[in-house]
Amino acid sequence: MAAAAVGDDQFGEDPSVNRLQERVADLLGKEAALWVPTGTMANQIALRTMTRPGDDVIVAAGAHVVWSETGASAANAGVQFTELGGTTGYFDADELAAAIKPRDHVILPPTTLVSVETTHNRAGGVSVPPSVLKDVCSVASQAGVAAYLDGARLWNAAVAAERSPAELAETFDLVWVAFSKGLGAPGGSMLAGPAEMMSRANRHRRMLGGAMRQVGVFAAAAEHALDHHLDDLRTDHDNARAMAEILSASSAIELDPERVDSNIVMLGLAPGVDAARVVERAGQAGVAVFAVGERVRAVTHRDVTTEQCLEGARLLVEAAEAD
């Protein structure tokens, strides 16, 4: 990062950012890419680029853009959401076809965008099957609806599906990826799609305050992560499954290890077990986890070893069984 060549990215003059944008566009099979500081901003830029105020956007139930961006989509893009798919983390082509609203109806809001999140955070890191991605995009295309891939953890989804990121993103108009999740970079995300769309996205990035200057220091960290950390993701997934096996044996925890696709373990809790108390007790034991409603989320990553993950699972069991 200290040695990165930098320039003013607002004017396209940062060589480290430009190199990374070209690389990521190629990795995702898209024409162009645009650096953004955060994933939430990536989602908000995408919505403003691909929709109009009052439009309907179809997402999977529990989508990050609905539940974890403090109402930004209503404030910034003025859109409404239709959630599909229940607790699975995704919906199929038939569900999508039934939910699409026409553009010329006097009452209904027009559906102009379908957004798919993979892996799906609140569904426990579920990787949407590649066949579902293609079928959903096919239905959207036939209906004249744009398709957007929320790929905060697309690197993990690619590992889980044993496909390249470009294969998963192929049928989507626009996609974004993060460098600060499993890859461990200190920050930054990137949108990718057609050059014309990236030009419009660039304007919205500035409107939202995301235009930066010598951001090449972050681009250098992201490049390092792409060069050195992609292979760590499989280990993270293996550690998450190993944790799930230990956790699922407890009567205080409701969890199916077979549903752990990637590096997120979402613990359901038995009746009477309080998520906030479990998180508090786990923290006191040195295990950092997060309450999501009445569930507890654990995420494996490259900074924790297999041994630490297994010990963390055992401590989580103790925290849950103390109620």
Residue 279 domain-assigned? Answer: yes
Closest CA to 172 of 42, 28, 36, 22: 28
Q: Of 185, 207, 228, which residue is a domain's last?
A: 228
Residue 32 domain-assigned? Answer: yes
Q: What is the pLDDT of residues 126-158, one digit of tens each?
A: 999 999 999 999 999 999 999 999 999 999 999
236 and 221 co-located in one domain: no
Rounded to an integer, the average pLDDT of 60-76 is: 96
Q: What is the predicted pLDDT for the residue at 180?
A: 94
Q: Strands 253-254, 264-269: parallel, antiparallel or unpaired by DSSP? A: antiparallel
205 and 58 co-located in one domain: yes
Q: Of 228, 254, 281, which residue is a domain's last?
A: 228
Q: What is the predicted pLDDT for the residue at 86?
A: 87
Residue 248 domain-assigned? Answer: yes
The answer to whether residues 161 and 127 touch, using CB atoms and an 8 Å cutoff, is yes
63 and 209 co-located in one domain: yes
Quick check: 323 pLDDT over 90?
A: no
Residue 198 domain-assigned? Answer: yes
Q: Where are the alpha helices (DSSP H) in the chain?
A: 15-27, 39-50, 64-67, 72, 93-99, 130-142, 154-161, 165-169, 195-207, 216-228, 232-248, 275-284, 306-321
52 and 126 co-located in one domain: yes
Q: Which two tokens stand for residue 126?
A: 């579920």
Quick check: 59 pLDDT over 90?
A: yes
Q: How far apart are CA 66 and CA 60, in angstroms?
A: 9
**Whole-model pTM over 0.75:** yes
240 and 201 co-located in one domain: no
Q: Of 209, 228, 247, which residue is a domain's last?
A: 228
* CATH code for the domain in which residue 240 is found: 3.90.1150.10
308 and 296 co-located in one domain: yes
161 and 188 co-located in one domain: yes
Residue 18 domain-assigned? Answer: yes
* CATH code for the domain in which residue 43 is found: 3.40.640.10
Q: What is the predicted pLDDT for the residue at 248?
A: 97
Residue 135 domain-assigned? Answer: yes
Residue 4 domain-assigned? Answer: no
172 and 34 co-located in one domain: yes
Q: What is the pLDDT of residues 5-14, one digit of tens each?
A: 999 999 999 9
Domain that holds residue 33: 9-228
29 and 146 co-located in one domain: yes
Q: How far apart are CA 50 and CA 47, in angstroms?
A: 5
119 and 64 co-located in one domain: yes
195 and 121 co-located in one domain: yes
Q: What is the pLDDT of residues 110-119, one digit of tens each?
A: 999 999 999 9
The answer to whether residues 113 and 100 touch, using CB atoms and an 8 Å cutoff, is no
Q: Which residues contact 293 (CB under 8 A, 6 or more apart)?
A: 275
Residue 83 domain-assigned? Answer: yes
Total count of domains within the chain = 2
299 and 217 co-located in one domain: no
